[in-house]
Structure 1
Amino acid sequence: MMLYLMDVWATVRGFMAAGGNILWLVALVLFLMWALMLERYWYVNWVAPKVHKQIIASWNAREDRHSWYAHRIREAWVSQATQEIRARMLIINTLVAICPMIGLLGTVTGMVSVFDVMAVQGTSNARLMAAGISLATMPTMAGMVAALSGVFFSTRLDAKMKIRMEKLKDRLPQH
C-alpha cells in the first residue's frame, strides 16, 4: 500500500513539474473550491433540515399566522434561511470561473518560456521548446478540468438548495 502511495505521489509530482508552477495555483484553487462545496453539501444535507424544522416549529407555535405582521415574520425567516443556505456560493462560483483563467495564465507563461528558449537557443532545439509547450498546455487542461468539475457539482448543489428552500416555503402555510 505504501509503495502504491509513493508511486501516486511520484506521478503527481511529475505532472506538476511538467506543468510548471501555475499548476500548483490551479491545485490550490481546486482544493479551496472543493472544500467549500463539500461544506455546503454537508450544510444542505445535515444542518439545514434541523434549522428548517426549528423554523417550522416556531411558525406552527405562533397563534397569529394570518396577519400582515405574521407574513413579514415568515418572509424574514425564509430570507434568513436562504442566506444561510446560500452562504459561500458566490465564492464557489467565482472559483469555478477563475480556474480557466489561471489555466490561461499557465499558457502565457509556457509560451513565454518557449519564446525565451527560441531567443537563446534558436529554433533548432525541439526538446527545449517541447518543455515550454508542455508548460503551456498542461495548466490550460488542468484549469478546464477543474472548472468543469466545479460547474457540474455547483449546479447540482444550487438545485439542491432551491429544492430545500421550496420545501421550507411549502411547509410554512400562509392561511
Structure 2
Amino acid sequence: MIDLLITQSLRLEEYLRAGGVTMLPLALVSVGMWLLIVERALFFRRLHLKNMPLQKALAHIHENRLPDPNQYRGAVSLLVARFIQRRSFERMLDRFILDETVVTINRSLNDHLAVIGVLAAVAPLLGLLGTVTGMIGTFDVLSVFGTGNAKGMAGGISEALITTQTGLLVAIPGLYMKGFLDRRARILQQRVARAGYYLRRQL
C-alpha cells in the first residue's frame, strides 16, 4: 500500500513537472474550487436533513422556543431560530424582521457559488496559457536546433497538451458541480420563502 502511494506521488510529481509553470496555478485553482464545493455541499446537505414541518415551526414561534438542534437542523429550523433570536414581540415589526431573515438566509445560500463558477471558468484559460507557453518553447527549440532536437520539441508539445488536458479536467467537473449546487440552493431558497410566507400570515 505504501509502495503504491509512493509510486502514485512520484507519477503526479512527474506529471506536474512536465506541465510546466502553469500547473501550479491550475493546482491552486483546483484545490480552492473543490474546498468551496465540499463546504457548500455539506452546508446544503445539513439544511436538507431533519427538516421542520411548518406547523412545528409555528408552534416554536408561538412558544418562543428555539428548535432542538438534535431534532431539527433543516432550512426551516434555521429560519425559526434566527427569527426568535431577533424578534421584538410587536406584530408589524416582527413581520419585517421575518422578511429580512428570509432574505438574509436566501442570500447566504448563494455564498461562494459565483467564486466556484469563476474558478471553473479560469481553469481552461490557464490550460490555454500553458498551451501557448509550451508551443513557444517548441518554436524556441526549432529556431535554435531546427528539427534535430526531437527531445526538446517533445518537451514543449508535452507541456502544451498536459496543461490543456488539466485545465479541462478541472473545469468540466467544476461547472457540473456549480450547476448542481445552484439547483440545491434554489430548492432551499423556495423552501425558506414558503416557510416565511406561511409564518408571516400566522404572526
* Shorter-chain TM band: 0.7 to 0.9
Does the 8 Å CA contact 2:22/2:129 hold for their aligned counterparts?
Answer: yes
Aligned mates of 2:97, 2:187 — CA distance in 1: 21
Does the 8 Å CA contact 2:75/2:191 hold for their aligned counterparts?
Answer: no
Which one is further off, 4-13 or 81-90? Answer: 81-90
Residue 139 of structure 1 pairs with residue 152 of structure 2: no
Residue 31 of structure 1 pairs with residue 55 of structure 2: no
Does the 8 Å CA contact 1:107/1:140 hold for their aligned counterparts?
Answer: yes
Residue 40 of structure 1 pairs with residue 40 of structure 2: yes
Query: Structure 1: which amino acid aligns with 2:34?
Result: W
**1:46-72: CA deviations, max 9, x gaps?**
26845641423537x8673xx5x5554
Does the 8 Å CA contact 2:76/2:195 hold for their aligned counterparts?
Answer: no
1:158-173 alignment to 2 at 5 Å? 158-172=182-196, 173=198
Work out the percentage of aligned pairs sharing the same amino acid: 30
Q: Please, what TM-score do these two structures have when normalized by structure 2?
A: 0.76
Aligned mates of 1:118, 1:71 — CA distance in 2: 73
- 2:181 counterpart residue number: 157
Q: What is the number of residues matched between the two proteins?
A: 171
- 1:104 counterpart residue number: 128
1:35-114 alignment to 2 at 5 Å? 35-46=35-46, 49-50=73-74, 52-56=76-80, 58=83, 64=91, 71-114=95-138
Can you give the 5+ residue segments of structure 2 that lack an aligned partner in the other structure? 49-72
Aligned mates of 2:76, 2:132 — CA distance in 1: 48
| Structure with the largest fraction of helix | 1
**1:89-144: CA deviations, max 9, x gaps?**
12111111100110011011101100110111112322221110011111011001
Shift of 1:74: 3.3
Q: Please, what TM-score do these two structures have when normalized by structure 1?
A: 0.87
Aligned mates of 1:51, 1:164 — CA distance in 2: 7
Shift of 1:16: 1.1
**1:23-50: CA deviations, max 9, x gaps?**
1221111000000111111222226845
Aligned mates of 1:164, 1:54 — CA distance in 2: 11
Does the 8 Å CA contact 2:47/2:74 hold for their aligned counterparts?
Answer: yes
Does the 8 Å CA contact 2:134/2:160 hold for their aligned counterparts?
Answer: yes
- 2:13 counterpart residue number: 13
Aligned mates of 1:7, 1:130 — CA distance in 2: 24
Aligned mates of 1:54, 1:158 — CA distance in 2: 20
